[in-house]
């Protein structure tokens, strides 16, 4: 049993304020979970005499050394607004905006959904996903259906809860960060920025874009997706970004060695495209998807580059940021393939 009393009290205050727990509720355990680069995540077990069973919550924190300069409050509002959409997502409770909170930054609290996350860079997790594909394909179906559901959310509903950004603005955002944080000039990245602008797709009506849609950001339980998480990169923009980003070989588990042959380690590409379209998504144009895949890889260069810059400058001691330099060779290879060199 492990409880940081100051942190636990801060979370219980938020939960009581939202009417989620009673006055006599107390914290049983609070532990920091492994995942999270731009957000830190804690799991809290609560005992509440006004309920028969214990309750589990997740605390999502924006730390001072976050690799993303995104608004946690906006993310909180987005979770609230999609609660009634056919997308499995946790109910959120209080939001604490203070930089000097008990967690060292703004945080909000949400339900802990059943299930766990997979890591496609681990053999056993890719085997689990391969098993679904060769068997029931329920995970694969959920993965396509929930993406179509995300892209069907009315953008009007999300006013103020997600930034609106068109293609050029998205490229400019990630290029600006790349130039600001880069520690080493990268000729492949520079050429890729020119290539995506040379191949700018015809615009489409803006939609909700998850921004980091991959199976590793979903919770899985009993062969189904029980939660779509990690919305900090969500925007109103070109939904084809999600289709490109998830198609990177990196998201199929390629690190320095090959990963799964399946799209995103989940499904065969043709099958996924048909399923996505059957669920209401627009037909997928592979050539356009390539451009967004390259843009997705460039986004990762910028995000991980930020972590590396913070680490190099001594503003972060998270060794995972240093480790992320070894993601770059594979991403560079992804870009080279996409550009057809």
Partner 1 sequence: MFNPLRADQLIAGMGRTMRAAAAADGPADDYARGQLLSAYSISRLLASEVRAQPELLAWLRGEALAALERSADPAAAPAGERIAAAGDPAAIGEALVDLFAELRREGRDSELRDSLHAVLREMAARELAVLAARPEDARVGSG
Residue closer to partner 1 by CB (options 49, 329) is 329
Rule CB under 8 A: say whether 213 interacts with partner 1: no
Count of other CB atoms within 10 angstroms of residue 338: 25
N-term to C-term CA, the chain: 55
Smallest gap from residue 115 Cβ to partner 1 (A)? 16
Pairing of strands 163-164, 235-237: parallel
Q: Using the rule CB under 8 A, is 160 a contact of partner 1?
A: no
Determine how many CB atoms are found less than 10 A away from the CB of residue 191: 13
Does position 123 interact with partner 1 (CB under 8 A)? The reply is no
Least separation in angstroms between residue 46's CB and partner 1 is 18
* Residue 318 interacting with partner 1 (CB under 8 A): yes
312 near partner 1, judged by CB under 8 A:
yes
Binding partner 1 (rule: CB under 8 A), the pick from 81, 129, 149, 188 is 188
For partner 1, the closer CB: 269 or 325 = 325
Angle 123-134/138-151 helices, nearest 10 degrees?
A: 90
Nearer to partner 1, 127 or 191 (CB): 191
Query: Is there binding between residue 53 and partner 1 (CB under 8 A)?
Result: no
Minimum CB distance to partner 1, residue 13 (Å): 23
For tokens 């799209």, what's the residue? 263
Q: Could you say which of 5, 64, 169, 256 contacts partner 1 (CB under 8 A)?
A: 256
By the 8 A CB rule, do 284 and 243 touch? yes
DSSP assignment, residue 51?
Answer: S
* 5 scored as a contact of partner 1 (CB under 8 A): no
Q: Which residue has the tokens 């959920």?
A: 142
Q: Which residue has the tokens 């214990």?
A: 54
Residue choice 10, 34, 180, 259 for contact with partner 1 (CB under 8 A): 34
- Rounded to a whole number of angstroms, the minimum distance from the CB of residue 254 to partner 1 is 9
x-marked contacts with partner 1 along 189-208 as a string, rule CB under 8 A: -xx--x--------------
- CA dihedral in degrees (233, 234, 237, 239; nearest 10)? 100
What is the CB neighbour count within 10 angstroms for residue 215?
A: 29
Sole window of 163-171, 176-184, 207-215, 288-296 interacting with partner 1 (rule: CB under 8 A): 176-184
For position 32 contacting partner 1 by CB under 8 A, the verdict is yes
- One DSSP character per residue, 153-206 reads S-GGGGTTTSEE--HHHHHHHHHHHHHHH-SS--HHHHHHHHHHHHTPPPP---
122 three-class SS: coil
The reply to whether 292 sits near partner 1 by the rule CB under 8 A is no
Residue closer to partner 1 by CB (options 262, 339) is 339
Q: Which is closer to partner 1, CB of 149 or CB of 303?
A: 303
329 binds partner 1 (CB under 8 A): yes
We find the least distance from the C-beta atom of residue 309 to partner 1, in angstroms, to be 8
Buried b (16+ CB within 10 A) or exposed e, 273-298: bebbeebebeebeeebbbbbbbbbbb
Indicate whether 278 belongs to the interface with partner 1 (CB under 8 A): no
Furthest-apart CA atoms within the chain: distance in Å: 64
Q: Does 119 bind partner 1 (CB under 8 A)?
A: no
Stretch that binds partner 1, among 47-55, 136-144, 221-229, 324-332 (CB under 8 A): 324-332
Sheet harboring 92-96: ordered strands across?
A: 26-32, 40-47, 55-61, 107-111, 92-96
Separation CA 327–CA 189 (nearest Å) = 14
Residue 31 near partner 1 by CB under 8 A: yes
Interface ranges with partner 1 (CB under 8 A): 2, 31-34, 40, 182-188, 190-191, 194, 256-257, 305, 308-309, 311-312, 317-320, 322-323, 325-326, 328-330, 332-333, 336, 339, 341
């Amino acid at each position: 049993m492990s409880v940081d009393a100051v942190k636990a009290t801060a979370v219980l205050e938020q939960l009581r304020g939202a009417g989620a727990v009673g006055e006599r509720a107390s914290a049983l355990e609070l532990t920091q979970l492994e995942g999270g680069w731009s957000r830190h995540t804690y799991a809290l077990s609560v005992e509440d005499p006004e309920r028969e069973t214990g309750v589990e919550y997740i605390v999502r924190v924006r730390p001072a050394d976050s690799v993303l300069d995104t608004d946690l409050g906006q993310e909180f509002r987005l979770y609230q607004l999609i609660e009634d959409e056919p997308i499995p997502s946790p109910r959120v409770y209080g939001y604490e905006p203070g930089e000097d909170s008990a967690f060292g930054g703004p945080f909000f609290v949400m339900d802990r959904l059943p299930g766990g996350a997979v890591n496609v860079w681990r053999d056993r997790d890719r085997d689990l996903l391969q098993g679904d594909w060769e068997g029931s394909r329920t995970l694969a179906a959920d993965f396509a259906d929930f993406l179509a559901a995300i892209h069907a959310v009315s953008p009007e509903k999300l006013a103020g809860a997600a930034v609106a950004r068109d293609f050029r603005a998205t490229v400019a955002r990630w290029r600006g960060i790349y130039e600001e944080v880069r520690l080493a000039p990268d000729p492949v990245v520079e050429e890729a920025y020119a290539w995506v602008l040379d191949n700018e797709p015809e615009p489409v009506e803006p939609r909700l874009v998850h921004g980091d849609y991959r199976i590793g950001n979903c919770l899985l339980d009993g062969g189904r997706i029980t939660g779509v998480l990690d919305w900090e990169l969500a925007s109103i923009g070109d939904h084809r970004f999600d289709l490109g980003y998830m198609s990177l070989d990196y998201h199929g588990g390629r690190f320095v060695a090959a990963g799964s042959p399946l799209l995103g380690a989940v499904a065969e590409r043709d099958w996924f495209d048909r399923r996505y379209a059957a669920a209401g998504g627009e037909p997928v144009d592979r050539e356009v998807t390539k451009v967004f895949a390259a843009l997705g890889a460039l986004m990762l260069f910028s995000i991980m580059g930020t972590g590396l810059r913070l680490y190099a400058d001594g503003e972060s001691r998270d060794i995972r940021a240093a480790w992320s330099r070894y993601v770059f060779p594979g991403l560079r290879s992804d870009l080279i393939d996409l550009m057809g060199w």
